[in-house]
Chains A and B, each alone.
Chain A
Amino acid sequence: MSESPLTGPRTLIFPDGLVGYPDWQHFELERSPDGSPVAWLQGKDEEEACFVVTEPSRVCPTYAIDVPAHVRAALGLGPDQEPSTLCMLVIQPEPLTITANLLGPIVYNPDTGLACQMVLAESRYSARHPVVVADAGVAQGGPAC
């Protein structure tokens, strides 16, 4: 069984930056040691580049993506090595709404921290998948994911 991507501190390096932010290349994945399902992705190039992330399978149990060969090569993944995957969460406090960006996942090499943010060209996943919806509670694993 592969290690959870939310385990342990980890430096992630995005050679191409994030989508729309090519200069944001260096991040630290910070989590608490108590099994928290979410972690902070703290930018080192820009103080404001701080994100809440989780494993996509936690918000969409059937989540599966195809990582193309050129992305695998860019991440330095071996033939039998699977990348770790994270998705960013958008939190709007008033009223509380939390969505997950399943369209633009972060994939990275769990051994080296080499990472990229993909945009899934042919997928049914939403950039705003509902996780917590105001007045409606939890939308985890809904049929739309």
Chain B
Amino acid sequence: MLVLSRRPGESIVIGEGKDRVRVTIVEVSGDRVKLGIEAPQEIVILRQELCEAVEAENRAARQVRPEQVGEALRSLCRALGQGAPPPDGTRDAP
């Protein structure tokens, strides 16, 4: 990992041309650093914990064995108010 020391008001630049991203130290207060980021609109900028939360839910949402959640799906369909559950994985439905 590249480690750089910067003072408030100073910046670093990542990339070049139209893809250039500039990160500026706006303020340092105690154990918090406020960053200003200038980047093209198509560059997604996220707090890391948000990505980790979605990734963790993707991992948890994987249903390796659909037959195990059959009853849960029936309960869910009642909760959502209409319709029948999907077959227990249309993969192995008759």
A40 and B84 within 8 A (CB): no
Chain B: minimal CB distance from A32 (Å): 5
Give the residue of A21, A35, A36 whose beta carbon is less than 8 angstroms from that of B58. Answer: A21
* SS class, residues of chain B in contact with chain A: helix
Given A119-B46, A127-B53, A127-B57, verify A37-B68 contact (CB < 8 Å): no
Decide if B4 is an interface residue (CB 8 Å cutoff): no
For the complex, count residues of A whose C-beta is within 8 A of B: 48
B73 touches A121 (CB 8 A): no
- Chain B residues within 8 Å of chain A by Cβ, number: 42
B54 touches A101 (CB 8 A): yes
Inter-chain contact B50/A36, CB cutoff 8 Å: no
Tell me whether A40 and B64 are in contact in the complex, defined as CB-CB below 8 angstroms, given that A117-B54, A140-B80 are known contacts.
Answer: no
Residues of A within 8 A of B (CB): 18-21, 30-32, 34-40, 42, 48-52, 54, 58-59, 68-70, 88-91, 93, 96, 98-99, 101, 103-104, 117, 119-121, 127-128, 131-132, 137-138, 140
**Given A50-B62, A70-B41, 17 additional A-B pairs, CB 8 A:** A21-B55, A36-B77, A36-B83, A38-B76, A38-B85, A40-B91, A42-B91, A48-B62, A48-B64, A50-B89, A59-B80, A89-B61, A90-B61, A91-B76, A98-B72, A119-B50, A132-B72
